[in-house]
Amino acid sequence: MWRVRLTAISAFLLVPLAFAAATFPAYPIKQAKECPVSAENAGLVVGLEPVENSETQENYFHTELAKKGFVPVFLVIENRTSTNSFIFDKTIVSYGISDSTISTPLTESGAGKAIAVSVIPFVGPFAGVKIISDAAQIQQNLMKKEIQSTTLSPGASVHGFLYVPIPRKTARGKITLRVPISKASTNETFDLNLVF
């Protein structure tokens, strides 16, 4: 009888472990110039690193984003001036195939929303709460790792991911990411183009 009780108690104690919140490691921060692709203008440096390896995607996002039709792109922007402030507005970043003039705004493509939907496997009415819980954690991690709009004061930097749509079944071609930057307090804007 004591063995049954012990098993029951052990099982009860192990349940929280099975359903424990997943931990998502932070992606290692690099300096803009250390990234495989970088561009510079007016003292502002942008570095880009696409994370295409499926194991790396699984490690940092707990899902293979390439299979969902996205490539996570790590972006770091550094203001290396000592006097100027710059504005980075994520909502006007766009991308396009390198050989084409077509440029699609990242936000209008609904990248975030599309990923949010695609990470959730199709689950019927009898879906386990665990599956839903895991999917919600993956979504939240994607959101937290995403780069956000900000004002870069002199010497400041910002980093995070953008999720760029790619073909699911065919190999992707070269993509150009256009990052518009404006000087704070003026309407002066310039683009930094990164090809990867």
Partner 1 sequence: MHRPFYFRSTFAVCLLLLAAADVPMFAQDTPTSSKLPLRVTLVLTPEFCATRMARGSQTSKFGFEVGKAACEEFEPTLKEAFASVTTTSEAPKTGDIQLILIPKFVDVGSTVGMTAFSNRELDVILQWTVKDLSGTTIWIGTVQGSAKHHQGNMFTYKKNLKLIVDDAVKDLASQSAIRMSCSAELRKLSQQM
Q: Given the rule CB under 8 A, which residues bind partner 1?
A: 19, 21, 85, 87-89, 91, 112, 116-117, 119-120, 129-130, 132-133, 135-137, 139-140, 143-144, 146, 148-151, 153-157, 182, 184-187
Nearest approach in angstroms of CB 78 to partner 1 is 8
Considering only CA atoms, give the Rg of the chain. Answer: 21
Closest distance to partner 1 from the beta carbon of 100 (Å): 29
| Cβ pair 162, 93 in contact under 8 A | yes
Residue 21 or 102: which CB sits closer to partner 1?
A: 21
- Residue 5, class by beta-carbon neighbours within 10 Å (0-12 exposed, 13-18 middle, 19+ buried)? exposed
Cα within 13 Å of Cα(126), Cβ side:
0
Q: How far is the CB of 92 from partner 1 (least distance, A)?
A: 11
Residue 116's SS3 state is helix
Nearer to partner 1, 37 or 120 (CB): 120
| Cβ proximity to partner 1, 93 vs 175, nearer residue | 93
Q: Dump strand ranges (E) for the chain.
A: 37-41, 44-50, 70-79, 86-88, 94-97, 104-105, 150-152, 157-165, 175-183, 189-195
Helix (H, G, I), strand (E, B) or coil at 47: strand
Cβ 91 to partner 1, closest distance in Å? 8
Minimum distance of partner 1 from residue 39's CB (angstroms): 19
User: Position of tokens 């052990």?
Assistant: 10
Q: Which is nearer to partner 1, 6 or 127 (CB)?
A: 127
Judged by beta carbon, residue 66 or residue 119, the one nearer partner 1 is: 119
